[in-house]
Chain A
Amino acid sequence: MSDYVIETKQLTKVYGDQTAVNAVDLHVKSGQIYGLLGRNGAGKTTIMKMILGLTSITSGEADVFGKNIKGQEKRVYPRIGAIIETPGFYPNLTGTENLEIFAKLRGTAAPNAVKNALEVVGLPYKDKKLFGKYSLGMKQRLGIANAILHDPELLILDEPTNGLDPIGIAEVRDFIKDMSASRGKTILISSHILSEIQLLADDIGIIDRGVLLEENSMSELEKKNSKYILLQVSDVSKAALILERQFQSKNYSVQDGQTLRLYDTSLDMAAINKALVLQDVAVISSGLCNGTLEDYFKKITGGEGIA
């Protein structure tokens, strides 16, 4: 029996000649919030869809609760609540009516399940407003209410804060944290907003162009990437060449024409300064800086940032 609630092995999805997800090994631990971070189109939704069995897997495996969902739908789905992409409901029905449909289909036993779920996300029960008239934020909340309606053990939330106002984002964040901390739910959440993931996740997976570049605990990641040497020099390319040849370090990133970040903080800063000056590279400033997750994201994705 696997220790993970979700485990994927070499999970791959190919559309035509385009590889949307490439050999992803994902490990979501029980009771943890796992943040899947990546830019739009990185493959986050496709991974979630494959985990949920909503799209076919080209190769590899995706196990949920130690089982492949295929053929086990009736056993596994009742233990999962999910929002994938935009919340899909019937626009001619109210929020309550929409949830009642899914409560009936799931055979939700709790008599007040719909009311409770709506209360949790801050939507009124038996309101007359139709789903078609909802704002994007309200739609998102209803999507979350539907995901928690049957009190599942695992929540798979694809960009759940999309369209929410800042207060709404904070509320949803608190709610997700509470679901994990006090109710022991396992949560897989995706986002392209780095700060969201940073504030929520216990574990993080960074995905770019379908490839899982890093999977680690947030605390490890913060520890690992807390420092770098910031060099402001007159000639960045020459400075880079010196670092590579003299210090055998390629672990740097060029920020602009004058700025370079060196992530190998074990190198002697004085020696670097001396070597640069001796080879006619003026050092405007140099110093040890604390890195952010965004810096790290830029570094491992090849310099491109994230929102």
Chain B
Amino acid sequence: MLLLARIEFTKLKRCNVYIVGIVTLLFSTLISVFQQMSLNEPIPHYGFYNLVNDTIWYNMCLFLPVTMIFLGGYMINREYTEDTLKNMFIVPVTYQTLICGKLIALAIMTMLYCGYSALVTILISATLFPEGLSLISSILEAGKIIIVGLCIYIAIMPVICWCCGRKNRFMAAAVLGFLYGFFGIPIAGHGLQDFYPITAGLTIIHYNGSTNATSSYNLGIAIAALLLMILFSSLILYFQSRTTNKE
């Protein structure tokens, strides 16, 4: 499985698709900066923590779900378009193993992208909003960005698995991913963020950046919501593999 995940990175060699994540996650932080700068009455003492919170928020509701679904869908779709599935199957690599390899690679990519997002946030904060920025806070807040990113990734795994089942489904899945993330905004605002898988990560890190978010986090529910997503993903893979392996 780990070998397959490593091979996924080789398969993406010379692919410019990486840029999508680099650009979108850069926007996550930039939007926070522009928003702050465009306010008539800027938030007093807007500093590193505020910037991290805003970045986490935009990663969650705007950029990370759609980016990771797009990338995952692309990685899966090209096995269909380049007609490489038949070569894989007769190695033999089963459909489930192949997809699991891709999911692991995507989880690693999510961490790398979130690490990059954290780095961008730290650099911008150091330049424009240095209040609260220190080595310790940088490490801790970067960890939060990565943890939320991984939780978002778990939340979108069923959508990625769904788009494995058929060729060219990944664009529709990316749109679905966008809506999935976007609905996190009202849901988090109504105290349902523990139940909604995309926002469950906020509970896990005890996020306090959203003005509407409540502090009554229920960690158990949030973890259960994410575990449910892993279960859904496994079921989708199981049912899809029964047809895809042989057709």
Chain A contacts to B: CB under 8 angstroms: 52-56, 73-74, 77, 80, 82, 84-86, 88-93, 97, 100-102, 104-106, 130, 146
Q: Is B45 an interface residue (CB 8 A)?
A: no
In the bound complex, do residue A105 and residue B78 qualify as a contact, i.e. CB atoms below 8 Å apart?
no
In the bound complex, do residue B14 and residue A102 qualify as a contact, i.e. CB atoms below 8 Å apart?
no
Q: Is B41 an interface residue (CB 8 A)?
A: no
Q: Which of B79-106 contact A (CB under 8 A)?
A: 82-94
In the bound complex, do residue B14 and residue A92 qualify as a contact, i.e. CB atoms below 8 Å apart?
yes
Contact of B91 among A53, A97, A100, A106 (CB under 8 A): A106
- On chain B, the residues within 8 Å of A86 by CB distance are 83
Number of B interface residues, CB 8 Å? 25
Contact of B13 among A73, A84, A97 (CB under 8 A): A97
In the bound complex, do residue A101 and residue B247 qualify as a contact, i.e. CB atoms below 8 Å apart?
no
> In the complex, how many angstroms separate the beta carbon of A118 from the nearest chain B beta carbon?
16
Q: Is B10 an interface residue (CB 8 A)?
A: yes
- On chain A, the residues within 8 Å of B11 by CB distance are 90, 92-93, 101
Chain B contacts to A: CB under 8 angstroms: 3-4, 7, 10-15, 78, 82-94, 246-247
In angstroms, Cα B87 to Cα A89, docked, is 8
Contact of B84 among A53, A77, A88 (CB under 8 A): A88
In angstroms, Cα B11 to Cα A85, docked, is 22
**Contacts known (A55-B246, A84-B86); A92 close to B15, Cβ less than 8 A:** yes
In the bound complex, do residue B91 and residue A102 qualify as a contact, i.e. CB atoms below 8 Å apart?
yes
In the bound complex, do residue B84 and residue A90 qualify as a contact, i.e. CB atoms below 8 Å apart?
yes
Closest to B101 in A: A105
> In the complex, how many angstroms separate the beta carbon of B238 from the nearest chain A beta carbon?
17
**Contacts known (A90-B82, A92-B15, A97-B13); A54 close to B87, Cβ less than 8 A:** no
In the bound complex, do residue A85 and residue B90 qualify as a contact, i.e. CB atoms below 8 Å apart?
no
- On chain B, the residues within 8 Å of A53 by CB distance are 89, 246
In the bound complex, do residue A54 and residue B82 qualify as a contact, i.e. CB atoms below 8 Å apart?
no
In the bound complex, do residue A55 and residue B247 qualify as a contact, i.e. CB atoms below 8 Å apart?
yes
- On chain A, the residues within 8 Å of B3 by CB distance are 104-105
- On chain A, the residues within 8 Å of B89 by CB distance are 53-54
- On chain A, the residues within 8 Å of B92 by CB distance are 73-74, 77
- On chain A, the residues within 8 Å of B84 by CB distance are 88-90
In the bound complex, do residue A88 and residue B85 qualify as a contact, i.e. CB atoms below 8 Å apart?
yes
> In the complex, how many angstroms separate the beta carbon of A58 from the nearest chain B beta carbon?
12
In angstroms, Cα B3 to Cα A88, docked, is 20
In the bound complex, do residue B82 and residue A88 qualify as a contact, i.e. CB atoms below 8 Å apart?
yes
In angstroms, Cα B84 to Cα A105, docked, is 13
List 10 other contacts, CB 8 Å, given A93-B11, A106-B91, A130-B14.
A53-B246, A54-B86, A55-B247, A56-B246, A88-B85, A91-B82, A93-B10, A93-B14, A105-B88, A105-B93
Closest to B78 in A: A90
Contact of A85 among B10, B78, B83, B93 (CB under 8 A): B83
